[in-house]
Amino acid sequence: MTQLLESTGFGQWILHVLILLPLLGVVPLLLGPESSAKRTALAVTILEFVLSVGLWWALDPALGGLQLVSDTPWIRSWGISYRVGIDGISLVMVLLTTAMMPLSVLASWHSIVKQERAFYALLLALLTGLLGVFIALDLFVFYIFFELMLIPMYFIIGIWGGANRLYAAIKFFIYTMAGSLLMLVAIVVMVWKVSEATGLMSFSYEFLLRNSAAVGSSAPWLFAAFALAFAIKVPIFPFHTWLPDAHVEAPTAGSVLLAAVMLKIGTYGFLRFAVPFFPQVALSPGVSRLIVVLAVIGIIYGALVAMVQPDIKKLVAYSSVSHLGFVMLGIWGGTVESVQGALMVMISHGFSTGALFLLIGMIYERRHTRMIDAYGGIARVVPIFSLIFTVVALSSIGLPGLNGFVGEFLVLLGAFPAYPWATVIATTGVIFAAAYLLWALQRMIFNPLDNPENQRLTDLTRRELAIMLPLLLGIIWLGLYPAPVLRRMEPSTQRYLQMVQPRVGAPSSIEVGSAAEVRP
């Protein structure tokens, strides 16, 4: 496979094609009739996914660093160039994005009825924005993509959303803008400081990374700006309140992409930029403690608030706050196990929560309500829907053997040596997760079938099965055999840790934990 790809020069063109293809796809989409818009979008997103799969082999798994890097000068006087490249971490994020996209198009098949062309065009633009964020290696370009993905999502929520869509869209937009504007200021200040020190002005990621020490005493402020922008995206408690509103109001495709991909941009931002640029600030005891505490609050708080939601979509939204708390804990856990775990939670959450939103969308199309109490006992009338819903819920709960467990387990195991108390408290999250999801599951698909409106429900169609089966397979595969994915990411994780922790390589806390216990 690798040789086949090399013979076509795959590595040279693939990243550019991935970025450009969706934008090019917008042209026939807008020129064609309204009715064929979704087919064009589906074709483009499937092609995009198929192409992106080649990246799996195009990347040398032994190397941890950035690969397939290409650099096209853009604004020379400011040192801005169109610079892209990927490593093992961005690889899986890109694949997650391209995999979710065709599913989102399929999920919109019948639910989006007004202005279809505009909708799918925005979806494609969003795809470019999301991929750009994950592969950009120039801070200016990164910022542009970061903003680019914001605008389509704003319109997707604001135009095709639910009853309260405007409030949600504006809240989403302002929340995110507030963070990203601060980040823009931080980027500019950083470039300026580095250019003062080195005499070279460049927005190149690697250049800034090498010279990040030049920012000197402004490091805490710069970190704070980056961290705030990403914290809102994650979201970290207490910056999370845009999320339930945005999720509830967004159409299914919007919720899926928000949860499965966009939230990961926040945690990806910490791993790629905020921590490596300013490790001495990010990993200082004070900041670490703050973030770990907020992560643990997010885990417990998200789960508890999810438990009492009457609206199933809101329940899932709050559960995201809880899951993303695990990611933050993993990143600050500071071991290979915990960071690998954080990455696995990012992937798994994409699958599980994406699948949950898709399923909610499917049942919503039939009953036009998201209220949990409106359902009950529907396993009798829609057995296949119920089966899939149960499996996905169990994966979200973290049942070992399914995907959710892998990441959570690695995060907790890896973070325990550094933060034993926080980890133990975070582990109680597994109890609450079972509580909120099983309770919802019971009230929706078990219990007596007492609402006559539910008796006419029809089970999943072929199209809906075609959406769910790939996710279901992914959930089981990642649960039983995550090793290939873990191995792809590990060199990059190792490299990240070597970069941010000067003393990595020294076996971590084993000695600390048991020193007192070893008998003479």
Which residues contact another protein (rule: CB under 8 A)?
Answer: 171, 174-175, 238, 240-242, 301, 304-305, 307-309, 335-337, 340-341, 377, 379-380, 383-384, 387, 394, 399-401, 406, 409-410, 412-414, 416-417, 420, 423-424, 427-428, 430-431, 434-435, 438-439, 442, 446-449, 480-483, 486-487, 490, 507, 509-510, 513-514, 517-519
Q: Could you write out the DSSP letters of every residue in 141-186?
A: HHHHHHHHHHHHHHHHHHHHS-TTHHHHHHHHHHHHHHHHHHHHHH
Residue 214 Cβ, how far from another protein at the closest point, in Å? 28
Minimum gap (Å) between residue 469 Cβ and another protein: 13
Do residues 59 and 488 make contact, with C-beta atoms less than 8 angstroms apart? yes
- CB nearer another protein, residue 22 or residue 404: 404
Task: Quote the DSSP letter at residue 506.
Answer: B
Closest separation between CB of residue 252 and another protein, Å?
24
Q: Which residues of 156-192 are buried (b: 16+ CB within 10 A; e: fewer)?
A: bbbbbbeeebeebbebbbebbeebbebbbebbeebbe
Nearer CB in complex with another protein: 155/237: 237
In 3D space, the residue among 221, 236, 246 whose CA is nearest the CA of residue 164 turns out to be: 246
The pairing of strands 67-75 and 80-86 is antiparallel
Q: Find how far residue 224's CA is from the centre of its chain.
A: 21
Select 145 or 175, whichever has its Cβ closest to another protein.
175
Cβ atoms of residues 295 and 266 within 8 Å: no
Least Cβ distance, residue 283 to another protein (angstroms): 18
Side chain identity at 512, as an amino acid letter? V
Q: How far is the CB of 336 from another protein (least distance, A)?
A: 3
Dist. CA 227–CA 225, nearest whole Å: 5
CB of 406 to another protein, least distance (A): 7
Least spacing, CB of residue 132 vs another protein, in Å = 29
Nearer to another protein, 201 or 438 (CB): 438
Residue 321, judged by CB atoms within 10 A of its CB (0-12, 13-18, 19+), counts as buried
> Which residues make beta-bridge pairs with 400?
402
* Helical pair 88-107 and 462-480, crossing angle rounded to 10 deg: 160
The token duo for 427 is 């582990």
Q: How many residues in the chain?
A: 520
> How far is residue 59's CA from residue 262's CA, in Å, rounded to a whole number?
24
Which is nearer to another protein, 134 or 242 (by Cβ)? 242
C-alpha span between 477 and 474 (Å, rounded): 5
**Is 305 or 327 the residue whose CB approaches another protein more closely?**
305
Residue placing its CB nearer to another protein in the complex, 103 or 393 = 393
What is the residue-wise DSSP string for 405-470? Answer: HHHHHHHHHHHTTT-HHHHHHHHTHHHHHHHHHHHHHHHHHSS----GGGGG-----HHHHHHHHH
Which amino acid makes up residue 407? Answer: G
CA distance linking residue 210 with residue 277, whole number of Å? 9
> For residues 310 and 502, which CB has a smaller minimum distance to another protein in the complex?
310
Residue closer to another protein, measured from CB, 161 or 479:
479
Closer residue to another protein in complex, CB, 171/272: 171
What is the closest distance, in whole angstroms, from the C-beta atom of residue 324 to another protein in the complex? 16
Supply the minimum distance, in Å, between the C-beta of residue 253 and another protein.
26
| Residue 319 beta carbon to another protein: minimum distance, rounded to whole angstroms | 13
Question: Looking at beta carbons only, is 54 or 61 nearer to another protein?
Answer: 61
Least distance from another protein to the Cβ atom of residue 428, Å: 6
CB of 488 to another protein, least distance (A): 11
DSSP annotation of 377 reads: S
Q: Which is nearer to another protein, 122 or 294 (CB)?
A: 294
Distances, alpha carbon 322 to alpha carbons 264, 392, 410, 429, in Å: 13, 16, 16, 8
Measuring CA to CA, which residue among 212, 196, 194, 193 is closest to residue 274?
Answer: 212
Q: How far is the CB of 508 from another protein (least distance, A)?
A: 9
Please identify, using beta-carbon distances, which residue of 31 and 483 lies nearer to another protein. 483
